[in-house]
Amino acid sequence: MTNIKERSDEIAANFSVFDDWLDKYNYIIEIGKSLPVFEDAKKSPSNLISGCQSQVWITAEYRDGQIFFAGDSDALITKGIASILIQVLSGASPNEIINCDMSFIDRIGLREHLSPTRANGLNGMIKQMKLYAIAFKSKHETII
């Protein structure tokens, strides 16, 4: 099993082969399509990330010390971005997620292509995923 650093390095490496912005976006859209189906029932207001122009839903599950995320968006580019975050962060422990370094987003060049308002969506997703980690940590991992 890889860790967050390895998974994010791998994604950054995949992106580095594209010079053309269009290829990059096509790749983001493709990654989005690889997300497992997200049932409509989970597209509830409580799973909705605010601060996005498009709608993004993210859910999380805790199993044996690891967190697994799922998500969806009505916009394909946003869905791709959500999918990247999910791939990188799923399977990590709450502590790893709380402390993780998200600089791979800059290495992919995602942030430079997202204006501040759009980046709010990205930041909103990251913030929500970290909040899940904090909640699971306090629920399942007694602090000694």
Give catalytic residue positions: 52
72 residue type, one letter? D
CB-based contact 83:31 (threshold 8 Å)? yes
Task: Considering the complex, state which of residue 43 and residue 130 has its C-beta at the smaller distance from another protein.
Answer: 43
CB-based contact 97:130 (threshold 8 Å)? yes
State in angstroms the smallest separation of the CB of 126 from another protein. Answer: 18
Task: Considering the complex, state which of residue 56 and residue 67 has its C-beta at the smaller distance from another protein.
Answer: 56
Q: Which residue ranges make up the site for another protein (CB under 8 A)? A: 21-22, 25-26, 29, 53-55, 74-78, 113, 118
CA distance 144 to 142: 6
Please name which of 79, 76, 101, 75 lies closest in space to residue 88, comparing C-alpha atoms: 101
Residue 109's region, left for phi above 0, alpha for psi from -120 to 50, else beta, is left
Place of tokens 């989970």: 42
State in angstroms the smallest separation of the CB of 101 from another protein. Answer: 26
Token pair in block for residue 114 = 């997202």
State in angstroms the smallest separation of the CB of 16 from another protein. Answer: 19
- Does residue 6 sit in helix, strand or coil? helix
